[in-house]
């Protein structure tokens, strides 16, 4: 029995040595056993280890390892499960990571564990940032894998054909261009006119003003929801403004004792003088009697003209030469007052 026991022990030792030598050989040839995708949580180390301890076979090419980071750990002999080896090494694995282990932990002789970390990238989609781990090779493949769609005007940096590297930052600027219509009022003009038939100091609106409308169209560019530019592309008047017309009176008001008021007002308006001045002069000279004669001059009519002065004024004013006609006297006198002859009446 002792001889049989010794043979069994030697056989076991030879088996262990053979397995270890085979492991070294296979490792040098880049062959091994690998896990598939792991769990999707990070709550504990145990959550990140494969649930199936018999790992499927897969070959990692040299090209594959050029852009990934690898970590090496060792499982202790006497541990028969990969998840226990990972926990003993305080290792956190992610669903995208790939694990190479040899020999199979179920042999209990200890295992070499290589974890190939999936490259980590940061992706800004507008104002939202997310961290991804992936084995795809280009930015375009990341977008396809994560089902991210670019709009026609969206901008991505770096370009979609850029090869991924660990800790690469990808930024997608979401661009939106829209047209904005703004409507502005057009103020109306106020036109003022004289009205000789309206008493001085009074005014009225004969046409109300109305504001017009001007329309401006802007092209608005927003990046990630924020306006970055505004371009005026069209401007037009959709409704014309209507002028407001106001008239103000120039007709002088007679406030003193007077006769022939209509003729006085007409003369005052024609020669732009105060009708009250005409009235006061008339009442002073003749008290309103158009046939008045002062033999001292003699002086005639409403304003007591001498014949010679009357001939001068009436010929220049052109409003009639009948010295006893009220209209001729009033109109010619208004002309004389407005043309520097006031001094002829003391």
Give the per-residue pLDDT at 196. Answer: 81
Kindly state whether residues 7 and 102 are assigned to the same domain: yes
Of 249, 281, 308, the residue at which a domain comes to its end is: 249
> Of 249, 267, 282, which closes a domain?
249
> 16 pLDDT band (50/70/90 cuts)?
low
**Strands, E, within 203-340: which ranges?**
203-207, 212-223, 226-239, 244-251, 293-294, 299-300
Strand locations in 17-143, DSSP E? 33-34, 69-75, 98-102, 111-117, 120-125, 128-133
pLDDT per residue as tens digits for the range 240-250: 999 999 999 88
274: domain CATH number? 1.10.530.10
The share of the chain scoring above pLDDT 90, in percent, equals 69
Structural domain total, the chain = 4
Across 159-180, average pLDDT: 94
What's the pLDDT band for 5 if we cut at 50, 70, 90? low
Mean pLDDT of 127-144: 94
Most distant CA pair in the chain: distance in Å? 185
Residue 169 has pLDDT above 80, yes or no: yes
For residue 319, give the DSSP letter.
Answer: S
pLDDT of residue 114: 94
Domain that holds residue 229: 177-249
Cis peptide leading into residue 346 (ω within 30°) = no
12 and 64 belong to one structural domain: yes
Average pLDDT, the chain: 84
pLDDT of residue 232: 95
Which of 202, 231, 249 lies at the terminal end of a domain, its last residue? 249
Q: How confident is the model at residue 346 (pLDDT cuts 50, 70, 90)?
A: confident
81 band by pLDDT with thresholds 50, 70 and 90: very high
pLDDT band at 3 (very low <50, low <70, confident <90, very high): low
pLDDT band (50, 70, 90) for residue 200: confident
| 245 & 257 share domain | no
Res. 149 pLDDT band, cuts 50 70 90: very high
Q: Give the confidence band of 45 by pLDDT, cuts at 50, 70, 90.
A: very low
* Among the ranges given (7-11, 187-191, 257-261, 335-339), the one the predictor scored with the smallest mean pLDDT: 7-11
pLDDT in tens, 281-298: 999 999 999 999 999 889
Can you tell me whether residue 97 is helix, strand or coil?
coil
pLDDT of 55 > 90? The answer is no
Residues 110 and 124 in one domain: no
Q: What is the pLDDT of residue 56?
A: 31
Same domain, 64 and 108: yes
Q: What is the mean pLDDT of residues 3-16?
A: 60
Does residue 206 share a domain with residue 129? no
Is the domain of 71 the same as that of 103? yes
Closest by Cα among 298, 305, 344 to 328: 305
Question: Are 303 and 211 in the same domain?
Answer: no
Residue 10 has pLDDT above 70, yes or no: no
Same domain flag for 218 and 197: yes
pLDDT in tens, 19-42: 555 554 554 444 444 343 333 333
| pLDDT the model gives residue 58 | 37
Task: Let me know whether 109 and 144 are in one domain.
Answer: no
Confidence bin at 197 (pLDDT 50/70/90):
confident
Statement to judge: residues 50 and 109 lie in one domain:
yes
| Dihedral sign of CA atoms 277, 278, 280, 284 in order | positive
Write out pLDDT tens, residues 87-125: 999 999 999 999 999 999 999 999 999 999 999 999 999
CB < 8 Å & 24+ apart, contacts of 307-311: 309/344
pLDDT for residue 253: 87
CB 283 within 8 A of CB 333: no
Q: Are residues 28 and 101 in the same domain?
A: yes
Q: What is the mean pLDDT of residues 40-68?
A: 40
């Amino acid at each position: 029995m002792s001889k049989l026991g010794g043979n069994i022990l030697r056989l076991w030792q030879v088996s262990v040595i053979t397995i270890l030598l085979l492991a070294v050989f296979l490792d040098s040839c880049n062959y091994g056993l690998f896990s598939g995708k792991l769990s999707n949580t990070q709550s504990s180390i145990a959550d990140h280890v494969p649930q199936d301890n018999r790992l499927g076979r897969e070959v990692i090419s040299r090209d594959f390892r050029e852009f990934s980071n690898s970590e090496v750990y060792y499982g202790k002999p006497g541990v028969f499960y990969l998840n226990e080896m990972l926990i003993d090494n305080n290792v956190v694995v992610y669903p995208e990571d790939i694990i190479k282990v040899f020999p199979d932990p179920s042999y209990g002789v200890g295992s070499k564990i290589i974890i190939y970390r999936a490259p980590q990238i940061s992706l800004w989609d507008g104002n939202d940032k997310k961290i991804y781990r992936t084995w795809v090779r280009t930015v375009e493949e990341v977008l396809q894998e994560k089902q991210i769609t670019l709009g026609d005007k969206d901008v991505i940096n770096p370009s979609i054909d850029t090869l991924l590297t660990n800790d690469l930052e990808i930024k997608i600027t979401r661009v939106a261009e829209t047209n904005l219509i703004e409507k502005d009022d057009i103020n109306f003009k106020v036109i003022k006119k004289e009205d000789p038939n309206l008493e001085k100091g009074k005014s009225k609106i004969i046409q109300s003003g109305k504001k017009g409308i001007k329309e401006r169209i802007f092209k608005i560019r927003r990046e990630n929801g924020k306006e970055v530019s505004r371009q005026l592309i069209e401007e037009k008047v959709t409704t014309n403004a209507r002028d407001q017309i106001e008239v103000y009176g120039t007709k002088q008001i007679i406030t003193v004792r007077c006769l022939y008021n209509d003729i006085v007002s007409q003369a005052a308006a024609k020669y732009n003088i105060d009708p009250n001045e005409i009235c006061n002069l008339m009442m002073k000279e003749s008290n309103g009697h158009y046939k008045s004669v002062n033999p001292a001059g003699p002086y005639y009519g409403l304003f007591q003209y001498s014949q010679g002065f009357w001939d001068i004024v009436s010929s220049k004013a052109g409003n009639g030469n009948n010295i006893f006609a009220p209209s001729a006297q009033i109109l010619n006198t208004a002309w004389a007052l407005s043309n520097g002859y006031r001094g002829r009446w003391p």
